[in-house]
Amino acid sequence: MVLSDRVKGITPSATLAITARVKQMKKEGVDVIGFGAGEPDFDTPKNVKKAAVQALKEGVTKYTPASGTDELKQAVCDAMKRECGVDYAKENVVVSCGAKHSLYNLFQALCNPGDEVVIPSPYWVSYEEMVKLAGGVPVFAECKFEDEFELKAEAVKAKITPKTRIILVNSPNNPTGAVYEEKELKAIGELAGEHACTIISDEIYDKMVFGKRKNVCVASLGEKIKERTITVNGVSKTYSMTGWRIGWAVGPVNIMKAISNMQSHATSNPTSFAQKASVEALNGKQNFVSKMAREFNKRRKRIVALLNEISGVECPEPNGAFYVFPKVSSFYGSKWGERTINGSLDLAEYLLGEARVGVVPGIAFGSDANVRLSYATSMQNIEEGVKRIKQALEKLKASQA
């Protein structure tokens, strides 16, 4: 069967590939520790589950409006007011089947063929593919290791051309954990104004911010910036609800109308009772969120300390999300039996084989010098897993003599 040109260029998600291999090894009884997880290792809060069960009992099992229920849209507006201090109306919100779907819709609605989208790099794998599927051209703005991967407005400015249509920002960031500084985001907002660009701000990790930075809602940086900004968020990470598939976009009414139209022909509404549960997540008690963040913060400190104890590994201390993105390129060129470790794919392969530890190769995020480890796993796994990595890397070093 002949495939369309559109889908021929898609690269499968490397994060899912490594997770699948780790799962397979576990099934075969191999004692493997996975640092690949892209989701919290907490159960969905009880009050949220209860709300879903209640909704099922009450017959909330039919179509809702394609762009989501008024009740959930209002809850999103209330959350934007509470967390970011910005005012929106229900017309500014479209609820979709996960934040990933919101982003997909947005690129489809905003990109004409050849339009350029500036994406900070290292970047979440799906942005690049979604932009390409929309006919757009991804252009990467480098976030430097020396800056702990924080995005600088200068790096964005250097990539703006007359074809730039969208500037994407993702803070806290996946894969680096970087949280961008307010002054840089403000400067990026001003650049967007000068060059008539839209800002898409993926704030899915906004409740997981630690250390010296605080979270910044881009839409809160002034009325002019708000007018150009679309905020993307959802319940997946904040409430450990990745399987429920509820996310949203908040922004200008004309764009929301367009994606609501598109969505009405593609998926129709996001799942009715998952929307009900999401209302409870947003409006109910929030102690789960801070409890989870406190736990992540403990693990963050521990994993950074442990990784930096390994000679040849450099791990910046990230201020958000639940990932670390250490530099491991000092091991490249090493021999492993007959093989040579030439990059992050080989190193990930080596760690899986030699240490029985799953990490995600940085090349999947546009940075071959690094690997990504998720600390959405138990402290015990962190201690044991990094110990194994240390042993395997020390063995590798010793065998090079």
Ligand X SMILES: *Cc1c(COP(=O)(O)O)cnc(C)c1O
Residues that bind ligand X (CB under 6 A): 38, 98-100, 124, 170, 174, 202, 204, 234, 236-237, 242, 247
Conformational region of residue 255, where left means phi above 0, alpha means psi within -120 to 50, and beta covers everything else: alpha
d(CA 272, CA 3): 34
The residue among 116 and 202 lying less far from ligand X, judged by its C-beta, is 202
Q: Toward ligand X, which CB reaches closer, 371 or 396?
A: 371
Q: How far is the CB of 338 from ligand X (least distance, A)?
A: 37
Question: What span, in angstroms and rounded, lies between the C-alpha atoms of 67 and 83?
Answer: 22
Pick between residue 69 and residue 374 the one whose CB is nearest to ligand X: 374
Residues in the chain: 401
Q: How far is the CB of 96 from ligand X (least distance, A)?
A: 8
SS3 335: strand
- Please calculate the CA angle 354-357-360 and round it to the nearest 5 degrees: 115
Closest-approach residue to ligand X (CB): 98
**In angstroms, what is the minimal distance from the CB of 347 to ligand X?**
22
In this structure, which amino acid lies at residue 70? Answer: D
**Amino acid present at 334:** S
Q: Is 4 helix (H, G, I), strand (E, B) or coil?
A: coil
Strands, DSSP E only, in 12-113?
33-34, 93-96
Q: Cβ 48 to ligand X, closest distance in Å?
A: 15
CB of residue 58 to ligand X, shortest distance in Å: 25
Rg of the chain, C-alpha, whole Å: 21
Q: Which is nearer to ligand X, 124 or 375 (CB)?
A: 124
Q: Which residue has the tokens 């104890």?
A: 309
Cα(375)–Cα(398) distance, integer angstroms: 28
> What's the min distance (Å) between Cβ of 204 and ligand X?
4
* Residue 249: φ, ψ to 5°: -120, 140
Shortest distance (Å) from residue 315 CB to ligand X = 20
For CA atoms 158, 162, 163, 168, the dihedral sign is positive
For residue 117, count CB atoms less than 10 angstroms from its CB and return exposed for 0-12, middle for 13-18, buried for 19 or more.
Answer: buried
Nearer to ligand X, 278 or 344 (CB): 278
* Closest distance to ligand X from the beta carbon of 263 (Å): 14
Residue with smaller CB distance to ligand X, 100 or 132: 100
124 vs 350 by CB, closer to ligand X: 124
Q: Closer to ligand X at the Cβ: 120 or 316?
A: 120
